[in-house]
Amino acid sequence: MLFELERVSLRRGGKPVLTDLSVRLPDGLNAIVGPSGSGKSTLLRLLDRLSDPDSGTVRYRGTDARELDPLRLRREVALVPQLPALLDGTVAGNLRFAAEIGGREPDVAHLLEVGGLDASFATRDVARLSVGEQQRVMIARALASEPRVLLLDEPTSALDERARDSIEATILDLHHRIGASIVVVTHDIAQASRLADWVAKIERGRLVGQGTIAEVLA
């Protein structure tokens, strides 16, 4: 099992965001679906130990996440946040920075290619990119540490259909080419069925169903 959440609860600002949530996500292609405000992003951040639950356990490949070194976990399990948040400077600068943190040799050309960006983007200032382009750089940057798992939070919510299709193709390609497991958060059921084999559905911080696409989204 890739991730297992056992009776996880989390409060934010005094109100419950996740309540008694038990979720299993196997290796492969996973989606977390649910309406806006249901706690999807909060759940995804737990998988990367960007926060810890108030109660309950999060396990990554059988080990309690609290026992793992968060820095090593995050290099192995890369999270791409919902909103692009690049560092000031060029695209290549961001990619090199991430590779350095991940302890890898930066291969800017290769990262741009898997992110679906052409080589001319290397020298572009990130402040002058469209949101869709920034989102791609975020994905490319997350790959710089050569992660085994990719957590994607609404990777296409700000994009038109064509850009969305092309990012979805990139995600599937990543899974097939480097064998990375994927957890994608989306409010779009159709997208979940295009991208995932296994789905967890949450509403108001509670699990309302998990299983194969056919079982849950039928």
Partner 1 sequence: MGEVAAALALVAVAVGISRWRGAGLESDIVIAVVRSFVQLTAIGFVITAIFDQDTLLLVVVLLSVMVVFGAFTARTRAREVPDALRPLIIALALSAVATLGLVLALGIFPATPRYLVPVGGMVIGNAMTASAVALNRLGDEMHSDAARVEATLALGATSRVAAAPSVRRALRSGTITLVDSTKTTGLIFFPGTMVGMLLAGADPTDAVRLQLILLYVLLGAVAISALTATSLAYRNFFTPAHQLRDTGGASGPDSANGQAGGAIG
Which residues form the interface with partner 1 (CB under 8 A)?
A: 12-13, 48-52, 70-72, 74-75, 78-81, 83, 85-88, 97-98, 101-102, 138, 141-142, 144-145
Is 41 near Mg ion (CB under 5 A)? yes
Is 191 near Mg ion (CB under 5 A)? no
Per DSSP, what are the bridge partners of residue 183? 30, 151
Total residues in contact with ligand ATP, by rule CB under 6 A: 13
For helices 91-101 and 131-142, give the axis angle rounded to 10 degrees: 20
Nearer to partner 1, 2 or 86 (CB): 86
Q: Is 201 left (phi over 0), alpha (psi -120 to 50) or beta?
A: beta
Confirm if 207 and 199 have CB atoms less than 8 A apart: no
Nearest one of 6, 14, 19 to 60, comparing CA atoms:
6
Shortest spacing between CB 45 and ligand ATP, in angstroms: 8
Binding-residue pattern over the window 80 to 119 for ligand ATP, x denoting contact by CB under 6 A: --x-------------------------------------
Is 12 near ligand ATP (CB under 6 A)? yes
118: helix, strand or coil:
coil
Site for Mg ion in 68-107 (CB under 5 A): 82
Is 42 near Mg ion (CB under 5 A)? no
Separation between Cα atoms, residue 128 and residue 141, nearest integer Å: 17
